[in-house]
Structure 1
Amino acid sequence: MSRNADNRAQFVPENHENDHFLLTTVVGSYPKPKWLNRAKDLSEDEDARFDADNLEEAYDDASEVITHEHERTGLDTVVDGEMRRNEMVEFFAHRIDGYEFNGPVKVWGHNYFDKPSVADEVEYDEPWLVDEFEFTRDVASRPVKVPITGPYTLANWSFNEAYDSEEELAYDLADLVNLEIEKLVEAGARYVQIDEPALATTPDDHAIVGECLERIADGIPEEVRIGLHVCYGDYSRIYPELNEFPIDEFDVELCNGGYEQIDVFTEPDFEPDLALGVVDAHTAEVEPVEEIKENIKQGLKVVPPEKLTISPDCGLKLLPREIAYGKMENMVTAAREVEKELDAGEIDLDAPVPTAD
Structure 2
Amino acid sequence: MTGPREQFRPEDHPNDHFLLTTVVGSYPKPKWHDRARELFEDEDADFGSDEWEEAKDDASRLITEEHERSGLDVVVDGEMRRNEMVEYFAERIDGYEFNGRVKVWGHNYYDKPSVTDEVEYDEEWLVSEYEFTSSVASRPVKVPITGPYTLANWAFNEVYEDEEALAYDLADLVNEEIEALVEAGARYIQIDEPALATTPDDHAIVGECLERIADEVPDDVRLGLHVCYGDYSRIYPEILEYPVHEFDLELANGDYEQLDVFKAHEFTKDFAMGVTDVHVAEVESVEEIKENIKKGLEVVPPERLTVSPDCGVKLLPREVAYGKMANMVQAAREVEEELDAGEIDVVAGPEASAD
Whether TM-score is above 0.5 comes out as yes
- Aligned mates of 2:205, 2:152 — CA distance in 1: 11
Deviation at 1:126, TM superposition (A): 2.2
- Aligned mates of 1:314, 1:288 — CA distance in 2: 18
Which of 130, 135, 138 aligns to 1:133? It is 130
Q: Which residue of 1 aligns with 2:118?
A: 121
For 2:317, the aligned partner's letter is P
Aligned pairs (5 A) from 1:1-357: 3-5=1-3, 7-108=4-105, 111-350=108-347
Deviation at 1:94, TM superposition (A): 0.5
SS of the aligned residue for 2:276 comes to: coil
Deviation at 1:243, TM superposition (A): 0.7
CA contact (8 A) 2:96 2:114 kept: yes
Q: Percent of pairs identical after alignment?
A: 77
- Aligned mates of 2:121, 2:215 — CA distance in 1: 17
SS of the aligned residue for 1:127 comes to: coil
Q: Deviation per CA, 1:119-176, whole angstroms, max 9, x where unpaired?
A: 1111112211000000000000000000000000000000111110100000110111
Deviation at 1:45, TM superposition (A): 1.2
- Aligned mates of 1:104, 1:81 — CA distance in 2: 23
The Cα RMSD (Å) is 1.3
- Aligned mates of 1:67, 1:110 — CA distance in 2: 28
For 1:49, the aligned partner's letter is D
SS of the aligned residue for 1:278 comes to: strand
Q: Deviation per CA, 1:11-56, whole angstroms, max 9, x where unpaired?
A: 0001101000000000000000000000000111122111111011
- Aligned mates of 1:204, 1:169 — CA distance in 2: 17
For 2:111, the aligned partner's letter is D
- Aligned mates of 2:232, 2:64 — CA distance in 1: 31
TM-score by length of 1: 0.96
- Aligned mates of 2:327, 2:153 — CA distance in 1: 36
Deviation at 1:232, TM superposition (A): 1.5
- The 3 A distance-change label for structure 1 pair 17 and 111 is closer
Residues matched between the structures, number: 351
CA contact (8 A) 2:193 2:227 kept: yes
SS of the aligned residue for 1:184 comes to: helix
- The 3 A distance-change label for structure 1 pair 350 and 213 is same
Q: Deviation per CA, 1:308-330, whole angstroms, max 9, x where unpaired?
A: 00100110000000000000000
TM-score by length of 2: 0.97
More off after superposition, 64-73 vs 120-129:
120-129
- The 3 A distance-change label for structure 1 pair 353 and 330 is farther
Deviation at 1:111, TM superposition (A): 3.9
- Aligned mates of 1:28, 1:59 — CA distance in 2: 16
SS of the aligned residue for 1:97 comes to: strand
For 1:62, the aligned partner's letter is A
In structure 2, list runs of 5 or more residues that go unmatched: none
In structure 1, list runs of 5 or more residues that go unmatched: none
Deviation at 1:246, TM superposition (A): 0.6
More off after superposition, 338-347 vs 100-109:
100-109
